[in-house]
Amino acid sequence: MQNGQQVHQNMQTGQVPQAMNHGGHEMFDVHEVLAGAINTMNLYKLLAEHVQDPELRDIHNRQYQFIQEEYNLTLECFQSGQPPAKRTEPYMMKENNDFIFGMTQMPPSKPIQNVTEMSDQHVAAAMLNALKASASMKTMAAAETTNPVVRRVIAASIPNCLEMAYEVSLYQNKHHYYQVPQLAAQDMQQILNGFAPAQGMPMQQQMNMNNNMH
C-alpha cells in the first residue's frame, strides 16, 4: 500500500521513476508490439523448414535476426525506462529497387490442402503480411507512447519494418509472385499533373512584413 501511495505522490509531483514512466495506453500498445514481435519470430521459425530458394532463405534469416534484436532492445527500454545498452540500427536490405511493372499470366491463387504444398511463394506472402501488420501496430503504439526513450525506439523501428516488407515484395515481384499493374500513360499523366505547388507565405509572416513596412 505504501509503495502505491509513493507512486501516486510521484505522479502528482511529476517525479515518476524511470521504470514507471509509462502511460496506460502505452502499456497496452507496447504490450501488443512485443507480443506481435514474438508472433512474427514464431511465424518465421515455422516457415523456415519450407524455404527452398537460397535467396529467400538469406532474406528470412537476416530479417529474423534483426527482428529478434529489435525486440530485445524494445523490451529492455520498456522495462527500465532508460536508453538500451545498444543503439537501434537501420535495416539494410540486399535487394535492388527495380520493380517489374505489368502483369504476367499466373495460376489462380487458392488455399493449400496440405503443408507439403507450402512453397517459396507462400512463405514470402506470410512474411510480407506479418511485416506490414507490424509496421501498422508500431505506428499506433508510437503515437500513444509517453516515455521518450520507448517512443524513439519504436518510432525508429517503423522504417525498418517497411524496409523489410519492401525487400520481400521486391523478391516476390522478381519471381512474379507480386505483380504491379500500371495505369494507362494518359491516366497516369493526368493524376501526376493534378496538383500544383502551394504559393504565398504563412499569415503570421505576412503580417510581420506588413508591420515592418509601417
What pLDDT was estimated at residue 214? 61
Mean pLDDT value across the chain: 87
Whether residue 211 lies inside any domain: the answer is no
Q: Which amino acid belongs to residue 170? A: L
- Residue 58's domain comprises 17-109+117-183
What pLDDT was estimated at residue 8? 47
Looking at residue 117, the DSSP 8-state letter turns out to be G
Contact in structure between 128 and 169 (CB atoms under 8 Å): yes
Cell numbers at 24, concatenated: 496506460
Q: What is the pLDDT of residues 72-111, one digit of tens each?
A: 999 999 998 888 888 888 999 887 888 899 988 888 888 9
Residue 31 φ then ψ, to 5°: -55, -45
pTM: 0.82
Q: What is the Cβ-side half-sphere exposure of residue 205, based on CA atoms within 13 angstroms?
A: 3
Report how far residue 118's alpha carbon sits from residue 49's, in angstroms, rounded to the nearest whole number.
10
* Count of structural domains within the chain: 1
Which residues contact residue 170 at a Cβ distance below 8 angstroms, ignoring those fewer than 6 apart?
A: 93, 95, 96, 97, 98, 99
Give the CATH number for residue 146.
Answer: 1.20.1260.10
Q: What is the pLDDT of residues 6-36, one digit of tens each?
A: 444 444 445 555 556 676 778 889 999 999 9
Largest CA distance in the chain: 81
Whether residue 57 lies inside any domain: the answer is yes
Contact in structure between 34 and 11 (CB atoms under 8 Å): no
Whether residue 153 lies inside any domain: the answer is yes
Whether residue 138 lies inside any domain: the answer is yes
